[in-house]
Structure 1
Amino acid sequence: MIRVRAAGLLLTAAYLCFVAWLLLRPHYAAWVPAPNLRPLATIRSDLASGPLPAARRLSEGLGLLAPLGVLLPMAGGRVDVPAFTSFARTVFAGLMVSLALEFTQTLVPGQLFDVDALLLNTAGVAAAHLLVVPGARRRLRQRRPAVTAPQPAPAPAGLVP
């Protein structure tokens, strides 16, 4: 389990660095739209643009932080955690990472806050967690050797009560 946890911590840190590099680069444009503070407004406009552009934009939003749905529990290194507790903890952490990225983007030229990106990123973390983590934990519990209770020491010969 220590190896899994160490690998999870390393991969999570590397992935977060990659996402920060990807999202926090300046985008220089002559015109920048207003920040989106209305839930589902960007998603509606994406759906109105046609099926292929909408699928691309929505899958980008869902897939950006989805690996955290697997990497965060892996970094925790726990196998015997209640499923709902693990799910709630992972989704909350994904929400906080997404929120931190969205707020940090407002400091970068050409980047704006979008509440729909927050919703899609969090949904991607939740979906990845539900698809991978319960099965992986089940397999890890099955592979783990069974812990047997210690046997009492035999009584010395000749001292039978």
Structure 2
Amino acid sequence: MRQGTGGTAAIRVRAAGIALLAAHLLVVGWLTLRPLDVPWMTAANFEPLAGIRADLALGPLEAAHRIGEGLLLLAPLGVLLPMAGGRLAVSPWASLARTVAAGALISLGIELLQTGVPGQVVDVDSLLLNTVGVTLAHLAVVPVGRARLRRRAGVPARTPRLPDESSQGTTPSISRVRVAP
């Protein structure tokens, strides 16, 4: 069920989600895709977790700062994507899978676009951290928010619908087809 069927408040929530999503993506694009004037650049990192290990070697404060940046950059997508989608009664696992896949694809797109931007370096650990950030934000906020909105709107949680006899109808028959002897 879409939020739009619940009234004007639900429509406003969805519209706010779309507007905030667009604003967040513009800020992320500006932060990650603007050319940087740097005297030297590190090589691209295609080895998973190598950058995180290097960050941890710098000390706990610097590691927390760098890893936190990676986790927080796309984390709002974990909330904004379901909010903009507008579904209240949906499987939690399907919602999580859709949101994480979309977050990972957006992160991958950013990393691919960075290959052509001067001063920006591709890092596979950014992709991993961004995706984990989206996942954690979704798990922390969306199930509780949906439950609260469902209670407020009086919408039951998603339950599997079993077919009953009234929805089945009659079996169609063709008059010239007969049962074989």
TM-score, normalising length from structure 1?
Answer: 0.89
Q: Deviations over 1:15-56 (max 9, x none)?
A: 100110111111122211110000000000000110000000
Distance 1:146 1:122 in 2: 30
In structure 2, list runs of 5 or more residues that go unmatched. 1-9, 157-181
For residue 59 of structure 1, what is the amino acid of its counterpart?
A: G
Distance 1:146 1:25, change over 3 A: closer
1:128 aligns with 2:137: yes
Distance 1:146 1:132 in 2: 19
Deviation at 1:145, TM superposition (A): 3.4
1:4 aligns with 2:13: yes
Deviation at 1:146, TM superposition (A): 5.9
User: How is 1:6-155 mapped onto 2 (pairs within 5 angstroms)?
Assistant: 6-145=15-154
Hey, which bits of structure 1, 4+ residues long, moved more than 4 A?
Answer: none
Distance 2:127 2:91 in 1: 26
Distance 1:13 1:29 in 2: 29
2:179 alignment counterpart: none
**2:104–2:127 CA contact under 8 A, matched in 1:** yes
Deviation at 1:74, TM superposition (A): 0.0
For residue 7 of structure 1, what is the amino acid of its counterpart?
A: A
Distance 1:14 1:41 in 2: 32
Paired-residue identity, %:
61
Q: Deviations over 1:70-117 (max 9, x none)?
A: 000000000001000000000000001100111111111010110000
Paired residues, number: 147
In structure 1, list runs of 5 or more residues that go unmatched. 148-161
Distance 1:131 1:18 in 2: 23
Distance 1:146 1:5, change over 3 A: closer
